[in-house]
Amino acid sequence: MMQIVTATPGRYPAIADLNHAAFGSDGEGTLIARLRHDGLVLVERVALVAGELVGHILFSRLAVEIDGRGVRSAALARWRSVRTGSAKASAPVWCRTGWQSCDP
């Protein structure tokens, strides 16, 4: 059974490893660390199966201006699920829970 929880600093190394494995470089991990450092993270969740991190999703603040007015917005960084089966099939569910938690 997949569990969706808020990402915590204790999970950051596993999140970095997951993103490195998924994307083949440290680029995503560097971006994620920068978003955290700059206070731009709105929602960051991880998916766990039997206590093992199998997915990560992050929403950040996005500066948008329409007709000269600032609009509160959120951006979805690439999300990653590394397992087939329950974690992959449930990805839309945990993406939706992330969006529902956003309050840009």
Backbone angles phi, psi at 12, to 5 degrees: -55, -40
Q: Domain tally for the chain?
A: 1
Question: Residue 81: which CATH number?
Answer: 3.40.630.30
Do 46 and 12 form a contact (C-beta atoms < 8 A)? Answer: no
- Is pLDDT at 85 greater than 60 in this prediction? no
DSSP state letter for 14? H
What pLDDT score does 89 carry?
Answer: 46
Structural domain of 15: 2-101
Do 35 and 77 form a contact (C-beta atoms < 8 A)? Answer: yes
Segment 16-21 mean pLDDT = 89
Closest CA to 36 of 2, 59, 3, 56: 59
- Residues 30-53 pLDDT 10s: 999 999 999 999 999 888 888 888
The one-letter amino acid code at 27 reads G
